[in-house]
């Protein structure tokens, strides 16, 4: 079995008033996921729960993201969440509120069997 990336979805999320990095990350993940229905796993004979989803989040203050809360919104699959510095913080005119912007990528993998001719190549590399 070989771990193969099958799908990549990207999204953006914001928190306009609460300066909540987790909320912005969750909204970014929803933006990435909620516009599609992944039928690739069942089409290949796997359960949707077999999917491994690597969630990449970029925000200005990575330490303020609750990774478990972000992972919890996945409808199926096994999630891992990685948070890095990025995104954007935009202060309002009088610097009393910061708008938080998160960029998110959801990378979907499956452990799938390789074709016999590809197994030979993988063993030799």
Task: Give the residue numbers spanning the domain of 15.
Answer: 2-124
Strand partners, 107: 8, 54
Q: What is the pTM of this model?
A: 0.87
Give mean pLDDT, residues 27-55. 92
pLDDT at position 50, please?
A: 95
* pLDDT tens digits, 69-120: 999 999 999 999 999 999 999 998 898 889 999 999 999 999 998 777 765 5
Task: Output the domain CATH number for residue 6.
Answer: 3.30.1330.20
Domain count, the chain: 1
Percent above pLDDT 90 for the chain: 74
Buried/exposed 21-50: b ≥16 CB within 10 Å, e otherwise: bbbbbbbbbebbbeeeebeebeeeeeeeeb
């Amino acid at each position: 079995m070989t771990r193969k990336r099958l799908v990549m979805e990207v999204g953006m999320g914001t928190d306009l008033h609460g300066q909540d990095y987790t909320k912005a990350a969750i909204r970014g993940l929803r933006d990435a996921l909620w516009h599609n229905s992944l039928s690739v796993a069942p089409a290949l004979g796997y359960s949707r729960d077999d999917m491994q989803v690597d969630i990449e989040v970029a925000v200005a203050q990575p330490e303020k993201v609750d990774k478990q809360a972000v992972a919890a919104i996945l409808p199926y699959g096994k999630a891992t969440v990685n948070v890095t510095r990025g995104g954007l913080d935009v202060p309002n005119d009088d610097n009393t509120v910061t708008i938080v912007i998160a960029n998110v990528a959801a990378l979907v993998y499956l452990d799938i069997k390789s074709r016999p001719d590809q197994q030979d190549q993988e063993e030799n590399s």
